[in-house]
Structure 1
Amino acid sequence: MTTEGFHVLDEKSLREYIKATPSLASKLGNEVDKLDIKEVGDGNLNFVYIVTASSGSLVIKQAVPYVRLIGESWPMTKERSYFEATALKHQHGLSPKHVPEVYHFDRTMSLIGMRYIEPPHIILRRGLIAGIEYPLLAEHMAEFMANTLFYTSLLYLTTTQHKNAVAEFCANLELCRLTEQVVFSDPYKISEFNRWTSPYLDTDAEAVRKDNILKLEVAELKSKFCEKPQALIHGDLHTSSVMVTQDSTQVIDPEFAFYGPMGFDIGAFLGNLFLAYFAQDGHADQGNDRKSYKVWITDTVSGTWNLFHKIFTSLWDKHKEGPGEAFLYAIYNNAELWELVKQKYMTELFHDSLGFAAAKMIRRIVGVAHVEDFESITDLVKRADCERRALDFAKMLMKKRRNFNTITDVISAAQ
Structure 2
Amino acid sequence: MTTQLEQVYEPLNTKTAIELSKNLQLFDLHDELTAEEIGDGNLNLVFRILHIESGNSIIIKQALPYAKVVGDSWPLTLDRARIESESLQRTYQLVPKLTPKVYYNDPKLAVTIMDDLSHLIILRKGLIAGHQYPKLAKDIGTFLAHTLFFNSDYGMNQQEKKIQSSRFINPELCKITEDLVFTDPFFDHDTNNIEAELKSFVEHVIWADQPLKLEVAKLKKLFLTKAETLVHGDLHTGSIFVSQEETFVIDPEFAYYGPIGFDIGAFLANIILNYLSQDAHLSDQPQKKAEFRQYLLDVLTTTWTVFEQEFTSLWISYPQDAFMKVDGFLEQTLADIWKDTVGFAGCKVIRRMIGLAGVEDVESIKDSPARIAVKKQALTLGKHLILNRHELTTIDKLVKVVSSNA
Aligned to 2:69: 69
Equivalenced residue count is 393
| 1:101 partnered with 2:101 | yes
Aligned to 1:243: 241
The answer to whether the Cα contact below 8 Å between 1:149 and 1:232 also exists between their aligned partners in 2 is yes
- Letter of the 1:200 counterpart: E
Q: Give the Cα–Cα distance (whole angstroms) in 2 for the partners of residues 200 and 411 of structure 1.
A: 29
The answer to whether the Cα contact below 8 Å between 1:243 and 1:250 also exists between their aligned partners in 2 is yes
The answer to whether the Cα contact below 8 Å between 1:15 and 1:32 also exists between their aligned partners in 2 is no
SS in 2 for 1:378: coil
Q: Give the Cα–Cα distance (whole angstroms) in 1 for the partners of residues 157 and 102 of structure 2.
A: 27
The answer to whether the Cα contact below 8 Å between 2:232 and 2:263 also exists between their aligned partners in 1 is yes
Q: Give the Cα–Cα distance (whole angstroms) in 1 for the partners of residues 111 and 37 of structure 2.
A: 14
Aligned to 2:13: 10
How far is 1:36 from its partner?
1.6
| 1:314 partnered with 2:313 | yes
Aligned to 1:92: 92
Q: Give the Cα–Cα distance (whole angstroms) in 2 for the partners of residues 285 and 256 of structure 1.
A: 36
Q: Give the Cα–Cα distance (whole angstroms) in 2 for the partners of residues 102 and 110 of structure 1.
A: 14
Aligned to 1:345: 333
The answer to whether the Cα contact below 8 Å between 1:104 and 1:113 also exists between their aligned partners in 2 is yes
Aligned to 1:199: 196
Aligned to 2:269: 271
SS in 1 for 2:174: helix
SS in 2 for 1:309: helix
The answer to whether the Cα contact below 8 Å between 2:315 and 2:324 also exists between their aligned partners in 1 is no
TM-score (norm 1): 0.92
- Letter of the 2:265 counterpart: G
How far is 1:13 from its partner?
1.6
RMSD of aligned C-alpha atoms? 1.3
Q: CA 1:390/1:332 → structure 2, altered by over 3 Å: closer, same or farther?
A: closer
Aligned to 1:296: 295
Aligned to 1:379: 367
Q: Give the Cα–Cα distance (whole angstroms) in 2 for the partners of residues 390 and 189 of structure 1.
A: 17
Q: Give the Cα–Cα distance (whole angstroms) in 2 for the partners of residues 332 and 185 of structure 1.
A: 35
Q: CA 1:32/1:364 → structure 2, altered by over 3 Å: closer, same or farther?
A: farther
Q: Give the Cα–Cα distance (whole angstroms) in 1 for the partners of residues 138 and 400 of structure 2.
A: 22
1:108-127 → structure 2 map (5 Å cutoff):
108-119=108-119, 121-127=120-126
Greater Cα offset, 276-285 or 246-255: 276-285
Greater Cα offset, 49-58 or 174-183: 49-58
SS in 2 for 1:278: helix
Return 5+ residue gaps in structure 2 as ranges.
1-6
| 1:360 partnered with 2:358 | no
Q: Give the Cα–Cα distance (whole angstroms) in 1 for the partners of residues 366 and 388 of structure 2.
A: 33
1:400 counterpart (378, 388, 406): 388
The answer to whether the Cα contact below 8 Å between 2:261 and 2:341 also exists between their aligned partners in 1 is yes
How far is 1:242 from its partner?
0.3
Aligned to 2:167: 168
SS in 1 for 2:235: coil
SS in 1 for 2:178: helix
How far is 1:31 from its partner?
6.0
The answer to whether the Cα contact below 8 Å between 1:62 and 1:109 also exists between their aligned partners in 2 is yes
The answer to whether the Cα contact below 8 Å between 1:169 and 1:259 also exists between their aligned partners in 2 is yes
SS in 1 for 2:197: coil
Aligned to 1:216: 214
Aligned to 2:156: 157
Give the fraction of aligned pairs with identical amino acids, expressed as a percent: 39
Superimposed CA distance per residue, residues 347-384 of structure 1 (whole angstroms, 9 cap, x where no aligned partner): 01001000011111111001000000001111111011
How far is 1:32 from its partner?
5.6
SS in 1 for 2:192: coil
Q: Give the Cα–Cα distance (whole angstroms) in 1 for the partners of residues 49 and 347 of structure 2.
A: 37
Return 5+ residue gaps in structure 1 as ranges.
none
Q: Give the Cα–Cα distance (whole angstroms) in 2 for the partners of residues 64 and 402 of structure 1.
A: 41
Q: Give the Cα–Cα distance (whole angstroms) in 1 for the partners of residues 191 and 355 of structure 2.
A: 7
Q: Give the Cα–Cα distance (whole angstroms) in 2 for the partners of residues 99 and 153 of structure 1.
A: 19
The answer to whether the Cα contact below 8 Å between 1:18 and 1:32 also exists between their aligned partners in 2 is no
Q: Give the Cα–Cα distance (whole angstroms) in 1 for the partners of residues 261 and 333 of structure 2.
A: 11
Q: Give the Cα–Cα distance (whole angstroms) in 2 for the partners of residues 168 and 293 of structure 1.
A: 41
Q: Give the Cα–Cα distance (whole angstroms) in 2 for the partners of residues 287 and 302 of structure 1.
A: 24
TM-score (norm 2): 0.94
How far is 1:220 from its partner?
0.8
SS in 2 for 1:6: coil
Superimposed CA distance per residue, residues 13-49 of structure 1 (whole angstroms, 9 cap, x where no aligned partner): 2122222122x33xxxx26651121111111111111
Q: Give the Cα–Cα distance (whole angstroms) in 2 for the partners of residues 311 and 347 of structure 1.
A: 15
Q: Give the Cα–Cα distance (whole angstroms) in 1 for the partners of residues 335 and 285 of structure 2.
A: 42
- Letter of the 2:290 counterpart: K
Greater Cα offset, 13-22 or 368-377: 13-22
1:280 counterpart (275, 278, 281): 278
Aligned to 1:231: 229
How far is 1:213 from its partner?
1.0
